[in-house]
Amino acid sequence: MLTLVEKIIFAVALLVSLYFTWRGVVRIVSNIASGQGKPDWQVVLRKAGGALFKFITFQPVFRFRLIPSILHGLIGWGFLAFLLINLNDIIYAYFNWRWVDHTGLFGDFYRLLADAANLLILLGIMAMAFRRFALRPPTLRSRQTTLLLPEARSGISRDSAIVAGFIFLHNSARLIGESFFVAEHGPDSWQPFISTVASLWVGMSPEAMLIGERVAFWLSMGAIAAFLPYFPYSKHIHLFFAPINFALKPERKSIGQLGYLNMDDEKIEQFGAAKVSDLGYEQIVDAYACIMCFRCQEVCPAYNTGKILSPAALEINKRYNFNLGGGTDKPLIDLIPEEAVWACTSCGACVDICPVGNEPMRDILEIRRNLALMESSVPKQLESAFRGMERNANPWNVSPADRMKWAEGLSVPTIEQNPEPELLWWVGCAPATDARAQKTARAFAKILNAAGLNYAVLGKNEQCTGDSARRAGREDIFFGLATGNVELLNEVAPKRIVTTCPHCLHTLKNEYPAFGGEYQVIHHTQLINELVGAGKIELKADNDTLQVTFHDPCYLGRHNGIVDAPRDALKSAGALTVEMPRNAAKSFCCGAGGAQMWKEEEPGTERVNAARYAEAKSTGAKTLAVGCPFCLTMMSDAAKADDVLQVLDVAEIVAARLKD
């Protein structure tokens, strides 16, 4: 179809394009290689199938924003089809041979696919462009108070326009070029849309149609040659880095599991991340995988309540730093303000919702490690909790001798009294020391005693798991607590551990294995369900149905996937559960995680717990049930303002329905 001169010109243009594209790719690889650690290729191979499945189905995209997700799917699936379609078009242009015209039913299917893909891509990109540039939803940008590099504020829209323009030009030109071919050779029932366009050229001479084909080819394939050098700098590169990101991510027991750091290793000179190159290689990949969709920002509790933190802005700033030649020596504090770093609740919502597998929360916690251990720069309110954990092994700074005061008047055996229990109850600092959370502990003790279980608690030997210290960057405190706890637990050798605190559950189950502690850990709502199912506890029927809305703790539902057990436990107690709009894995944070429990929130328009309480109140339920002592405190504090909802732990609700 092309003349010899055109073939030579296009080949030279494509080679030049690929050369400059390659230079961009080399730069990307260099930036990623400067990060910490190396991929475990055995893990990568194991995850490759899952990564490919996510890439082909776009399954993570469809968890949020349904209509834009469908439009994105139209573009993405069309793009995959066009990898083959473009190859066929180049073969035809150079050799005047179309293999799909000689392959029977497969060729027919191919032409139908090409026709549909062409149309769907055009519809999808026009709708997405209309949404971004005409509707301009606030969910596609950050507030002015959020640190977003100036080049990014203008660059995101420009990049979107370039990508949208390229896709529209490429696909519309390809459609028109194919329509000239169909007009010359007669209607094709397997290409209904293109055949409709071809009817416009009826009556044109074959020579004119051939010229039209050539012009369309140059516009369509020329757009690709022109776009390729820009591709490594555009957000469009997420098409390749999304599956790479999924495959390269280290295997973790949960989205919130942090990496082991040996504080006894005197060779370690750098703690946490001060500059971009201090991040893991996979965290640098995040910057290239980011599609700049702002979904992580939309679910972030800090951003939703007016704080300056935006997980999206962090990833976008990392990317624009690379594009601007900033390299990996860039201080991270120039890409995210210290105030924003301390506003994170480590709820994991940003990690959970990201359609390309990014983990901005992990970056923030690494920055906290650096600020706390290298710069001694932490919010002053945290110092009291740190002292408590260092002196008395709990953030409330309560003496270990008082650890069992909550159980006065109850029969709660300690490990000394019952050295070989079937179940070890890890009470946790809050239920053992906080007046409100102690009611949960007493209620759960009544359930265990009613079931006649062979259990024990560690009593005065139990220490804080160190979760708050670790999330606040004080890895040294966490290391000491974790080492001591694992040593004690391995000596006790519990068959199973139950805890009423999701933060304790998460740490014992997911983070202590790195210290040599492998335990079977369950949440108290899971145990309650077991006891009801086994007939070990009986609950009395109550004609007055309790209307309850359940708040999913972040470290129970999102971090550890436990969402049914609390609801089943409530159901067994005769409660009618009314769901909040944001529930289960998409639950909104209470505001206490990430060590926020021990400090004041950063300035914003609203407190996180107030926002969540308002959502609970909107359901019309009379009781707000929780399954976490932190959530209990935060929701109880919010409830004091109007006293509309009664805030209770699931254990309290179940204990109140126990048969005498």
SS3 letters across 342-377: CCCCCCCHHHHHCCCCCCHHHHHHHHHHHHHHCCCC
- Report, at the CATH architecture level, how domain 382-529 is classified: 3-Layer(aba) Sandwich (3.40)
Measured CA to CA, the distance from residue 193 to residue 212 in angstroms comes to: 18
pLDDT band with cut points at 50, 70 and 90 for residue 198: very high
Check residue 106 and give its pLDDT: 87
The token duo for 190 is 């397997």
DSSP state letters, 111-139: HHHHHHHHHHHHHHHHHHHHIIIII--GG
Residue 99, pLDDT > 90, answer no
Check residue 642 and give its pLDDT: 85
- Please state the φ and ψ torsions of residue 498, each to the nearest 5 degrees: -120, 140
Residues 232-260 pLDDT 10s? 999 999 999 999 999 999 999 999 999 89
Residues 482-528 pLDDT 10s? 999 999 999 999 999 999 999 999 999 999 999 999 999 999 999 99
The dihedral over CA atoms of 169, 175, 181, 182, expressed in degrees to the nearest 10, equals: -160
The whole-chain average pLDDT of the chain stands at 95
Check residue 357 and give its pLDDT: 96
SS3 letters across 582-594: CCHHHCCCCCCCC
229: CB partners within 8 A, 6+ apart = 17, 20, 21, 24
Residue 613, pLDDT > 80, answer yes
Check residue 104 and give its pLDDT: 82
Measured CA to CA, the distance from residue 433 to residue 401 in angstroms comes to: 11
Residue 103, pLDDT > 90, answer no
Check residue 258 and give its pLDDT: 93
pLDDT band with cut points at 50, 70 and 90 for residue 91: very high
Measured CA to CA, the distance from residue 407 to residue 413 in angstroms comes to: 10
Check residue 228 and give its pLDDT: 97
Across the range 126-146, mean pLDDT stands at 96
Residue holding tokens 């995680």?
593
Check residue 543 and give its pLDDT: 63
The token duo for 262 is 């040996």
Cβ atoms of 376 and 478 within 8 Å: the answer is no
Check residue 660 and give its pLDDT: 78
652: CB partners within 8 A, 6+ apart = 439, 440, 443
Across the range 218-243, mean pLDDT stands at 96
| Angle 285-288-289 from CA coordinates, rounded to 5° | 85
Check residue 101 and give its pLDDT: 67
Supply the pTM of this predicted model: 0.94
* 3-state SS, residue 65: coil
Check residue 97 and give its pLDDT: 85
Q: Which CATH class is domain 539-656?
A: alpha beta
- Please state the φ and ψ torsions of residue 522, each to the nearest 5 degrees: -130, 160
Residue holding tokens 């021990």?
598
- Strands 455-457 vs 423-426: parallel, antiparallel or unpaired: parallel
State the first-to-last Cα distance of the chain, in angstroms, to the nearest integer: 89
646: left (phi over 0), alpha (psi -120 to 50) or beta: beta
Angstrom distances, CA of residue 376 to CA of 260, 342, 364: 21, 14, 16
Check residue 557 and give its pLDDT: 98
pLDDT band with cut points at 50, 70 and 90 for residue 102: low
pLDDT band with cut points at 50, 70 and 90 for residue 20: very high
Residue holding tokens 């696909």?
171
Across the range 163-167, mean pLDDT stands at 97
Measured CA to CA, the distance from residue 145 to residue 25 in angstroms comes to: 33
Residues 270-329 pLDDT 10s? 999 999 999 999 999 999 999 999 999 999 999 999 999 999 999 999 999 999 999 999
Check residue 185 and give its pLDDT: 87
The dihedral over CA atoms of 185, 189, 193, 198, expressed in degrees to the nearest 10, equals: 20
Check residue 98 and give its pLDDT: 80
Measured CA to CA, the distance from residue 414 to residue 425 in angstroms comes to: 10
Element (H, E) at 548: strand 546-550
Residue 27, pLDDT > 90, answer yes
DSSP secondary structure code for residue 279 in this structure: S
The proportion of the chain whose per-residue pLDDT surpasses 90, expressed as a percent, equals 94
Element (H, E) at 577: strand 575-577
Measured CA to CA, the distance from residue 386 to residue 501 in angstroms comes to: 19
Higher pLDDT, 341 or 642: 341
**Helices 629-639 and 435-450, interaxial angle, to 10°?**
130
Residue 640, pLDDT > 70, answer yes
Check residue 462 and give its pLDDT: 97
